[in-house]
């Protein structure tokens, strides 16, 4: 781990009054949930055009359901790792205002983070496309057929996530945009900067004068464009070191 980068990041964050974190799939890799783009990630098994668009789900829900059933089963056993816990500790110490997450795995909440803005929803719940009712995803659901609601015959339920082609939930979009505009520092963790509009939030923060600290195993589009301090390494190692340097354990 790059101790000099941690020290520099801590120094740049020390005076900040409104720090927000933006997290992506990379922070949950050490919890055993593969990210989408790395070799072995879910996209390599389930191409996004076939499995992650709302059109695909509506056209062939039973086929697309297999991915979400598999992910739901994996999520049921996943535990937060030291990276999630470090962000929760920073919040508890009054150093972090919120986590804006693209993740759908509920692990920030499981780690103890209280202010979590779920930009892409939560895969541990189902929502009915007819009546809007939400219910927790049960692990025992059959894999062969997409879940149905009891509200009316054949009413389809979907994972309570934002499929490609769907709108970001308006409250989450507004809260995240507001944080991007008012924060004086943003910590970006484990995202490839490719899924918009969330990927634009760090640009907004930078344009409003925020310090950008990026934690990732490798450089991204952000690194040369907007990042002030790049902390290279696994989030489960770098974030606890950063939190400790900021006085949150």
x/- map, 179-198, ligand NAD, by CB under 6 A: -----------xxx-xx---
Q: Determine which one of 18, 108, 120, 125 is catalytic.
A: 120
Tell me how far, at minimum, the Cβ of 19 lies from ligand NAD, in Å: 18
**Residue whose token pair is 């996943």:** 78
Helix 3-14, helix 235-245: angle, nearest 10: 50
Among 6, 9, 21, 24, binds ligand NAD (CB under 6 A): 24
**Residue whose token pair is 């695909």:** 56
Nearer to ligand NAD, 89 or 216 (CB): 216
Tokens representing residue 173 in the block: 């979009």
Is 120 designated active site?
Answer: yes
Applying CB under 6 A, does 216 fall inside the site for ligand NAD?
A: yes
Going by their DSSP bridges, the two strands 134-136 and 157-161 should be labelled as unpaired
Nearer to ligand NAD, 21 or 42 (CB): 42
Q: In what order do the strands lie in the sheet with 229-232?
A: 116-118, 98-101, 19-23, 185-189, 211-216, 229-232
Tell me how far, at minimum, the Cβ of 238 lies from ligand NAD, in Å: 7
How many CB atoms lie under 10 A from the CB of residue 101? 33
x/- map, 26-45, ligand NAD, by CB under 6 A: x-xxx--x-xxxx--xx---
How many CB atoms lie under 10 A from the CB of residue 134? 11
Tell me how far, at minimum, the Cβ of 155 lies from ligand NAD, in Å: 26
Nearer to ligand NAD, 55 or 152 (CB): 55
The residue nearest ligand NAD at its CB is 26
Distance separating alpha carbons of residues 117 and 101, to the nearest angstrom: 6
Applying CB under 6 A, does 73 fall inside the site for ligand NAD?
A: no
Select from 20-28, 62-70, 138-146, 200-208 the region that touches ligand NAD (CB under 6 A).
20-28
Select from 126-134, 135-143, 174-182, 214-222 the region that touches ligand NAD (CB under 6 A).
214-222
Applying CB under 6 A, does 25 fall inside the site for ligand NAD?
A: yes
Distance separating alpha carbons of residues 202 and 210, to the nearest angstrom: 9
Q: What separation in angstroms does the CA of 57 have from each of 91, 102, 147, 157, 196?
A: 37, 20, 12, 10, 20
Q: What separation in angstroms does the CA of 138 have from each of 123, 134, 155?
A: 11, 12, 18
Please list the residues that pair with 230 across neighbouring strands.
214
Do 72 and 66 touch, CB atoms closer than 8 A? no
Instruction: Provide the annotated active-site residues.
Output: 120
Binding interface with ligand NAD (CB under 6 A): 24-26, 28-30, 33, 35-38, 41-42, 102-105, 120, 190-192, 194-195, 216-218, 220, 234-235
């Amino acid at each position: 781990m790059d101790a000099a980068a941690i020290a520099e990041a801590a120094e740049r964050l020390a005076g900040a009054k409104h720090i927000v974190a933006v997290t992506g799939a990379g922070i949950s890799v050490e919890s055993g949930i593969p990210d989408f783009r790395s070799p072995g990630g879910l996209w390599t098994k389930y191409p996004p055009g076939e499995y992650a668009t709302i059109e695909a789900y509506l056209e062939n829900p039973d086929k697309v359901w297999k991915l979400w059933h598999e992910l739901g089963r994996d999520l049921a056993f996943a535990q937060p790792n030291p990276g999630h816990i470090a962000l929760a500790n920073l919040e508890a110490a009054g150093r972090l205002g919120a986590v804006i997450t693209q993740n759908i795995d509920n692990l920030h909440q499981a780690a103890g983070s209280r202010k979590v803005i779920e930009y892409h929803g939560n895969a541990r719940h189902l929502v009915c496309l007819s009546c809007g009712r939400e219910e927790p995803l049960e692990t025992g659901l059959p894999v062969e057929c997409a879940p149905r609601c009891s509200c009316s015959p054949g009413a389809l339920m979907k994972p309570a996530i934002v499929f490609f082609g769907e709108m970001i939930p308006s409250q989450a979009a507004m809260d995240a945009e507001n944080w991007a505009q008012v924060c004086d520092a943003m910590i970006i963790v484990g995202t490839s900067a490719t899924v918009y509009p969330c990927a634009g939030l760090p640009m907004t923060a930078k344009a409003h004068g925020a310090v950008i600290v990026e934690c990732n195993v490798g450089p991204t589009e952000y690194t040369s464009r907007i990042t002030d301090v790049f902390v290279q390494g696994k989030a489960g190692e770098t974030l606890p070191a950063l939190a400790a340097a900021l006085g949150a354990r």
